[in-house]
Amino acid sequence: MKRVLIVGLISIGLAFSSCSTVPLTGRSRLNLVSDDQVLPMAFQAYNQFLTENKNTVLPASNAQAAKVKSVGNKLIASVKTYMNSNGHADLIKNYKWEVNVVQSKELNAWCMPGGKIVVYTGILPVTKDDAGLATVMGHEIAHAIAGHSAERMSQEMVGQGIGTLGNVALANKSKTQSVFNTLYGVGAPLAMLSYGRNQELEADRLGLIFMAMAGYNPQNAIAFWQRMSQASSGSQKPPEFLSTHPSDGTRIARIQNALPEAQKYYKP
């Protein structure tokens, strides 16, 4: 009982001493891990994923891959511009951007910390056009930019009692690696990380700005999420990248509220 109390007090202390704000939105968050700790794991996991799925990764010469990479490169350029213009260039200085397309029926896309992006061909009929694709990719990139992976890892670590007070250093590197592997499903065919509702809505908001700066009308995001809702309505459970996410109605309403802000960045 005493040990449980001590662990609980340490976790509470960590939560209070390690709170920070998302630089782009000002939301308060828990952050126990740094990019120096997370990015090497992300790069290794991404390379492992590509190796394990090498037979389904489309070559750059493939038309679908070329389209995704083209939209991705425009979004990456807009992210760099946004971050540099708003004093956050340091947050992406160690990013190693990369975009790959995987042949799969999954309605899925994700971006690991450090700018490692994967889009599944199964979602392309739903994205329909470049603007729809920019909606998905902008949203996933926003998760990385806002540090949502580190936040999820921090929450998991507190739940497991991993960490120490003082400089909030990680107690055990192998345990940290284990947390990362659990969240990302390393060794599994799919990346398993899912985000909370606040993180999802935050990624929507930032994604709208990124797609607008890349030259895609953010108004098109609403049509994409409507199509996504229809595409996933017949399944028993939502696609992995929609699990624990806000309801379709909530998401679309919040996007509509965020559109005036995003439209300021859109130049056709």
Residues labelled as active-site residues: 140
109, β-bridge pairs: 119
Please count the other Cβ atoms lying within 10 Å of the Cβ belonging to residue 68: 28
For residue 247 the two structure tokens come to 């309801």
Indicate if the alpha-carbon torsion angle 268, 115, 87, 199 is positive or negative.
Answer: positive
Q: Answer for the pair 13, 165: CB distance below 8 angstroms, yes or no.
A: yes
Phi, psi of 13 (to 5 degrees): -60, -40
The two three-digit tokens of residue 7, written as one number: 């662990």
DSSP conformation class of 1: -
